[in-house]
Amino acid sequence: MRIVLDAMGGDFAPQVPVMGAVQAAKELGVKVILTGEEELLKRELSKYSYPAELIEVVDAPQAVSMEEQPAKALKKRNSSIHVGLNLVKEGKADAFVSAGNTGAVMAISLFTVGRIRGVERPAITAILPSLTGYTFLLDVGANVDCKPSHLLQFAVMGSAYARYVLGEENPRVGLLNVGEEEGKGNELTKEAYKLLKAAKEKGLNFVGNAEGRDIYSGRFDVIVCDGFVGNVCLKLSESLAKILAKILKEEIEKHFISKIGAITLKPAIKGFKRRIDYAEIGGAPLLGLNAPVIISHGSSNAKAIKNAIRTATRFVKSELNRHIEKEIGKFGKGNGD
């Protein structure tokens, strides 16, 4: 198993990706190929001891910033993303991991490895902590205007990921909507509901409509939506959690007695943080591409990178893309095509 890691991606590159790669090599015994500025990466690697045969550096002198337009990034054929995905395309590596610019990774993936046969639109995904475990949400930004058949395919791909990679036996799939009852929704979700309902007969475990509150309720394992709604939900969630924590902190500091009490809360706060920490999950896949691609959060620490590499190995071992191709072949666009 050989995983390519974009060593120039993320807010703390190359230090954090390099440290994550070292951890993955030592703790997971996985071979990691780092793409990026060779000199820089070798200097960074010299700080650590690790099994030399498990880390390789491939030079990729161009950088893609976090804000760069995908179309512009696509032109940089020697970027750490492009070089890395080419390694996968050429069979020199099995999967690609990046904490960098998600839009750029998606665009360059489409250009290099392409889509799985039958997939209309690959999706960006997110794994969000719920009361009982995790909810797998897609699309969260690749497709801001969707057709009903896209949502059906997101459901098929998301369900396959939850089953084969996350180990859910019979993932419960929901359609993000404005009400629980059948018949609720906008034009897109009303039509998508029909396709999903029909797909139940072919074995998709479509449970029904999910509401905004269900993203965190644990009632669904997979929730599908268009990339506009998903993107807004994801950014809203991240900020709301931060803001609520900030307001609580401000209030604690206002009251002397609470300030003292807060010290005793440390173990609880630590447990709380662990439960909502993305680093424990360590990355979510781009689904529908002809190779395993995992995106890690831009602010990932080394542990998150290591866990993203672990996720990539599971993706490869599960042969997920073979399953997706088969499932997409079975469900098509949901209209008997």
Q: Which residues bind a second copy (CB under 8 A)?
A: 130-131, 141, 144-145, 176, 178, 185-187, 189, 211-217, 225-229, 231-241, 243-244, 246-248, 251-252, 254-255, 257-258, 260-269, 271-272, 275-276
Both structure tokens of 202:
């072919």
Could you tell me the smallest distance in angstroms from the CB atom of residue 323 to a second copy? 30
Both structure tokens of 121:
């639109």
- In the three-class reduction of DSSP (H, G, I as helix; E, B as strand; rest coil), residue 95 is classed as strand
Is 96 or 220 the residue whose CB approaches a second copy more closely? Answer: 220
Both structure tokens of 134:
């995790």
Is 132 or 335 the residue whose CB approaches a second copy more closely? Answer: 132
Is 276 or 322 the residue whose CB approaches a second copy more closely? Answer: 276
Identity of residue 216: Y
Q: Which 8-state DSSP code applies to residue 51?
A: -
Is 200 or 265 the residue whose CB approaches a second copy more closely? Answer: 265
Both structure tokens of 30:
């996985």
96 contacts 130 by C-beta, under 8 angstroms:
no
Could you tell me the smallest distance in angstroms from the CB atom of residue 6 to a second copy? 22
Residue entry with tokens 């599960």: 318
Is 114 or 298 the residue whose CB approaches a second copy more closely? Answer: 298
Could you tell me the smallest distance in angstroms from the CB atom of residue 251 to a second copy? 4
Is 176 or 328 the residue whose CB approaches a second copy more closely? Answer: 176
Could you tell me the smallest distance in angstroms from the CB atom of residue 234 to a second copy? 7
State the helix-helix crossing angle for 320-331 and 148-164, rounded to 10 degrees.
140
Could you tell me the smallest distance in angstroms from the CB atom of residue 298 to a second copy? 14
Burial 52-84 (b: 16+ CB within 10 A, else e): eebbbbbebebbbeeebebeebbebeebbbbbb
Could you tell me the smallest distance in angstroms from the CB atom of residue 182 to a second copy? 13
Could you tell me the smallest distance in angstroms from the CB atom of residue 172 to a second copy? 17
Is 202 or 255 the residue whose CB approaches a second copy more closely? Answer: 255
Helix (H) or strand (E) holding 285: strand 284-287
Could you tell me the smallest distance in angstroms from the CB atom of residue 100 to a second copy? 16
Is 1 or 252 the residue whose CB approaches a second copy more closely? Answer: 252
Burial 126-150 (b: 16+ CB within 10 A, else e): bbbbbeeebbbbbbbbbbeebbbbb
H helices within the chain, ranges in order?
A: 15-23, 38-45, 70-74, 80-89, 102-112, 148-164, 187-200, 227-254, 256-264, 266-276, 278-281, 302-317, 320-331
123 contacts 106 by C-beta, under 8 angstroms:
no
